[in-house]
Amino acid sequence: MNKFLSLLMLLSATFAANAQIPAPGAPPTCNSSSCITNSLIDVCPPGTNNVVSATEGGIYNRGNDANRLAAGAIWRYRNMAVVSGVTINVEVSVDEVYQATLASIDDDNAVDQSNVSMASYFCPRISADQSLVGSASGDRRGYVQFTMRFFKNSTGANNNTNADFATPVNLTNLNYVHYDIDGFSSGGNVGAAGRWYRETGMAKKVGTNNPQVISNATTDLSAYLYNSGGSDWTGFAGGICEKDGVSKCAQNAAAFKYNGAFPSITFRMGYDYNPGGTAGRPVRQYGSRLGCFNFPQESVLPVTLVSFNAIFRNNVTTLKWVSENEVNFEKYIVERSNDGLSFSEIGQQSAQGSVSGETKKNYEYSDNLASASGNVFYYRLKMLDIDRKYTYSSTIMVRKEAAALNGIVLNPNPVTNGITTVRFSARRTSSADIRVLDMSGRTVLQQQTKVYEGSNSLSINQIDKLPPGIYSLQLMNEGEVSVIKFSVVR
């Protein structure tokens, strides 16, 4: 028993040390010579009341005298905006620097794609914390986390007095715009097997669909959501078609629209490296501000499945899934197949709609297989928006078996098309921690999901992101660890 407990403690410590933020989806195809923009792309139209920020000439104030560009440092900007006749000052804190280096808090020499100054924008310079040299580095992601806090300028004098940063204010009509979320290919750019270095832009969620994340319908960006540090984060991973300067191209911009009044906003500027060719340690120029962005074809971040699982018990398959970001979303269409190729609709679930305080929605659908012929069944969800656009979930497999599974089973193995199902039996309703490790023991995928008494079938998020190779899948449930090896082939 003592050896078993020691093993669990060692595994837990290993998981904590190796865990990364999840990988975003592969970038879409893009065109480096295309830039959808105009001279008024980020000018607020007449009649709008959005807060428009100007952050120039920041002054370090406190927090980390040894390294003013490290976690804990706080910088001050005076006269950031005027709201209803009140001058607003702002403090920008460096909350966290994760697998990254902050080279400059705000580069006032930054320019856009037309060589126009962006000195009034918030333009940090950020790099990875190490040189990225292909497969030797492995995939790697990092970020710098900032918080902007708003204060009433009490004296109006252009100085750095504490009195002018002593009275917090709640601001409405906040629209945080992140520009130029791009990157470059580092040796091939085809799907999940591509090789790239690209920027990421995230905002900390403060409620259901808050902030609302907006991009252009024609975009180079990939939707990106994850939970980190006990908070939900929403945003985008960039494309791999490099644009000049801190570009104002619509296909590389994202807007985060806040509903309500807030004394601060928290956001992350980071990177995603998928190993291949050598990327080195590039210092990237970022750009953002509070204001407006007039997307030619506005598009809201699509619905995202957090988890999609199945439980088989007493001849009934119960599908359970959790979603978030159900904006302009209509319903889920449940489909079933006997061969994993030809699917037919067996039911529907309407969107629950927004409920105050909820960030995730839980759904359940039961399928009685008592009279169904066959022993193996495949399920997927067709997710339909109000505008009739749709996407499919991953496919999960359910096998009609009376006996409990011993350990875990992975089907198919090898994984050939980026889809596989983890099957195992649980004694009772509980939670399971799933991790995928590469041959060096590094955690490359990680998720936590709820499991139920009986035979469970679980989909693995982002498994299509894994490059070919040999991996171990570890499932921890109620203090027991099960391990299975599998391979990914193309």
- Average pLDDT taken over every residue of the chain: 86
Question: pLDDT tens digits, residue range 377-387?
Answer: 999 999 888 77
Distance CA 79, CA 416 (A): 56
For residue 466, CA distances in Å to 236, 299, 390, 460, 486 come to 19, 29, 25, 11, 12
More confident residue, 126 or 420: 126
Kindly state the average pLDDT of the residues 215-233.
86
Contact status, residue 201 vs residue 247, Cβ threshold 8 Å: no
Kindly state the average pLDDT of the residues 205-223.
87
Distance CA 332, CA 199 (A): 32
- Residue 466 is classified by DSSP as P
pLDDT at 90 over 60: yes
Kindly state the average pLDDT of the residues 348-374.
81
Question: pLDDT tens digits, residue range 110-123?
Answer: 999 999 999 999 99
The SS3 of residue 2 is helix
pLDDT for 402: 57
Kindly state the average pLDDT of the residues 201-211.
89
Distance CA 110, CA 121 (A): 9
Kindly state the average pLDDT of the residues 274-302.
85
pLDDT for 5: 35
Percentage of residues in the chain with pLDDT exceeding 90? 49
For residue 90, CA distances in Å to 99, 205, 329 come to 26, 20, 36
Nearest-5° Cα angle at 305, 301 to 309: 175
pLDDT at 87 over 60: yes
Terminal Cα-to-Cα distance of the chain (whole angstroms):
42
**Which residues have a Cβ under 8 Å from the Cβ of 336 and sit 6 or more positions away?**
343, 344, 346, 367, 377, 378, 379
Kindly state the average pLDDT of the residues 466-474.
87
Contact status, residue 441 vs residue 447, Cβ threshold 8 Å: no
pLDDT for 159: 67
pLDDT for 250: 96
- How does residue 15 score in pLDDT terms, banded at 50, 70 and 90? very low
More confident residue, 342 or 178: 178
More confident residue, 443 or 404: 443
**Element spanning 438, H or E:** none
Distance from chain centroid for Cα 448: 16
For the chain, how many helices (H) and strands (E)?
Answer: 1, 34
- How does residue 134 score in pLDDT terms, banded at 50, 70 and 90? low
Question: pLDDT tens digits, residue range 142-194?
Answer: 999 999 999 999 887 666 788 899 999 999 999 999 999 999 986 654 444 56
- How does residue 2 score in pLDDT terms, banded at 50, 70 and 90? very low
More confident residue, 158 or 403: 158
Cα pseudo-dihedral 457, 462, 466, 472, rounded to 10: -40
Distance CA 309, CA 396 (A): 7
pLDDT at 263 over 90: yes
pLDDT for 1: 37
pLDDT for 17: 36
The SS3 of residue 134 is helix
Q: Which domains does the chain have, with CATH numbers?
A: 18-300 (2.60.530), 302-488 (2.60.40.10)
The SS3 of residue 18 is helix
Question: pLDDT tens digits, residue range 19-61?
Answer: 468 778 778 888 889 999 999 999 999 988 999 999 999 999 9
Strand order in the sheet with 100-104: 100-104, 125-128, 284-285
Contact status, residue 222 vs residue 27, Cβ threshold 8 Å: yes
Strand order in the sheet with 454-459: 361-368, 316-324, 304-313, 454-459, 421-426, 408-411
pLDDT at 321 over 60: yes
Contact status, residue 420 vs residue 457, Cβ threshold 8 Å: no
- Residue 161 is classified by DSSP as -
Contact status, residue 359 vs residue 303, Cβ threshold 8 Å: no
pLDDT for 35: 95
Q: How many CB atoms lie within 10 A of CB 295?
A: 19
- How does residue 332 score in pLDDT terms, banded at 50, 70 and 90? very high
pLDDT for 369: 93
Of 291, 287, 289, 290, nearest to 126 by C-alpha is 287
Kindly state the average pLDDT of the residues 265-292.
90
Kindly state the average pLDDT of the residues 279-288.
90
Q: Residue 231 forms beta bridges with which residues?
A: 228
DSSP characters for 256-315?
Answer: EE--S-BSEEEEEEEEEEESSSEEE---EE-EEEES----TTEEEPPPEEEEEEEEEETT
**Which residues have a Cβ under 8 Å from the Cβ of 19 and sit 6 or more positions away?**
443, 446
Which of 55-64, 372-381, 386-395, 402-411 shows the lowest mean pLDDT across its residues? 402-411
pLDDT for 431: 85
